[in-house]
A and B are shown apart, each in its own frame.
Chain A
Amino acid sequence: GNSVTQMEGPVTLSEEAFLTINCTYTATGYPSLFWYVQYPGEGLQLLLKATKADDKGSNKGFEATYRKETTSFHLEKGSVQVSDSAVYFCALSAGGGSQGNLIFGKGTKLSVKP
């Protein structure tokens, strides 16, 4: 079946450090891939997405590239800020984006220290 695996947290970084959160997926067909972010006490917000192989999603300094050959969608940011502290979820939509039945990874908590 379809599934998403992301690195276990928590991840603790100093401000301005480089961030990578790994995400790999298993899916039939050609899923769309997403990163969502959940700030403390809030609901999830879409951070970025990619709908086909080699697409790069980017937003707020975060980037992720859809790699079909390695079935990965790793999240990166060159210089994190304290305000980036949150839980990050990788997700896939097996319907190629046609359905919202997103399958989420277990989330990775990021803490950025000043």
Chain B
Amino acid sequence: DTAVSQTPKYLVTQMGNDKSIKCEQNLGHDTMYWYKQDSKKFLKIMFSYNNKELIINETVPNRFSPKSPDKAHLNLHINSLELGDSAVYFCASSPLGTGELFFGEGSRLTVL
């Protein structure tokens, strides 16, 4: 069983489109995250949810909107995609209070 799973793994789309990436974790963790990894492998946190509530919202364009229907799911919706949004997006989860993250395999988004 995959602990943190994201879909789709690859996404190629045109500028201006809207797309979503889904994430699910079966570890029973309270906290979930979205991280963005750029072409140079630099990782930066975008959002964090604890038990469906937003707790971290870094400086991210408001075209990016996370949604957590329950504590096992955290989806990322992106409106009006731009070339600079091309990256690998990682979902992660962690038990509360540990700082230890469990990552999904990533979703590679390519905007043409």
Contacts and interface: CB of A to CB of B under 8 A. Distances in A.
A46 B101 contact: yes
B72 interface: no
A43 B100 contact: no
Interface stretch (B60-68, B79-87, B102-110): B102-110
B103 A45 contact: yes
A101 B41 contact: no
Nearest to B43: A104
B92 interface: yes
Interface residues of B, number: 25
B105 A42 contact: yes
Given A43-B4, A106-B40, A101 B48 contact: yes
Interface residues of A, number: 26
Most chain-B Cβ atoms within 10 A of its Cβ — which of A32, A42, A102?
A102
Nearest to B29: A100
Nearest to B105: A43
A57 to B, nearest CB: 11
The 3 closest A-B pairs by CB, nearest first: A43-B103, A93-B99, A97-B99
Interface of B: 4, 31, 33, 40-45, 48, 55-56, 90, 92, 94, 97-106
Given A43-B105, A45-B103, A106-B40, 9 more contacts: A34-B99, A42-B106, A46-B100, A87-B41, A99-B56, A99-B99, A104-B43, A106-B42, A107-B42
29 contacts: A34-B99, A34-B100, A36-B101, A42-B106, A43-B4, A43-B104, A44-B43, A44-B90, A44-B103, A46-B102, A89-B43, A93-B99, A97-B100, A98-B99, A100-B31, A100-B98, A100-B101, A101-B45, A101-B48, A102-B45, A102-B99, A102-B101, A104-B42, A104-B43, A104-B44, A106-B40, A107-B41, A107-B42, A107-B43
